[in-house]
Amino acid sequence: MTIRGYWRCSTDLQDQERQVLALKQAGCEKVYGDKITGTSDWSSRPELQECLDLMEEGDILVLSELSRLSRSFVGMVNQVSDLLERGVHIKTLDARLDTTAMPKEITMLIVSILGYAASQELDQIKTRTAEGRGVAKARGVKFGRKRTYTSFQADEVVRKHKNGNGMGTIAKSVGMSRSMVQRTLREHKQNQLLTA
């Protein structure tokens, strides 16, 4: 029997360190982890894939909470069901799930409830994020990539475009990519519409 731990966090280093420490204190012999969002698909989580591939019958997977596996209701239920079919046990450090001490039917009921709660929480996060973005936009905050060219380059792009030069020619002459030239012209056109 091997006890493996898995952590997942988006960007917060403290959250990662907290999870890793807790998993080690829980007796995990090997700890895996991915720095990625909970809504990411399995193929973009190499550490989780490696961990799950190595799990054998009788092994225990330890998580700080079940949502570390997935924030998707379907993803969570499917993953837990697959692990149980393989004879792998799951324990969460928040004490909400311990498949070593409960029948499969109760486990799946609890997983369904936790999966539903995780997906609802994700929906609320998305809603709050969208609302916050809307408020920020109304205040004039700009989103997207930062401009990586100078005002002089932008002026040159506009001037050369007005003189009939093609995108490729302009890109070479001002040291930009073709897509950046197109984006610069779009932004210039938008600014003209806003100031008209």
pLDDT (tens place) for every residue of the chain, 196 residues total: 899 999 998 776 778 899 999 999 999 999 999 988 766 666 678 999 999 999 999 999 999 988 888 777 787 888 888 898 899 999 999 988 899 888 878 877 877 787 777 777 767 777 887 888 887 778 777 766 666 677 788 888 899 999 998 888 888 888 888 888 888 888 888 777 766 5
> What is the fold of 151-195?
Arc Repressor Mutant, subunit A (1.10.10)
The confidence score (pLDDT) of residue 145 equals 62
Helical H segments across the chain, by residue range: 13-25, 46-54, 73-85, 104-138, 151-162, 167-174, 178-195
Helical H segments across 26-103, by residue range: 46-54, 73-85
Nearest alpha-carbon partner for 94 in 65, 114, 60, 61: 65
Q: Enumerate residues 6+ apart whose C-beta is below 8 A from 122.
A: 38, 39, 71, 72
Alpha-carbon distance of 8 to 98, in angstroms, equals 19
Alpha-carbon distance of 28 to 191, in angstroms, equals 56
Strand arrangement of the beta sheet that strand 89-92 belongs to: 30-35, 3-9, 60-63, 89-92
Cite the active site residues.
Answer: 10
Half-sphere exposure of 100 (CA within 13 A, CB side): 13
The confidence score (pLDDT) of residue 7 equals 93
Q: Where are the domains of the chain?
A: 3-123, 151-195
pTM metric for this prediction? 0.59
Residue 35, SS3?
Answer: strand
Q: Which CATH class is domain 3-123?
A: alpha beta
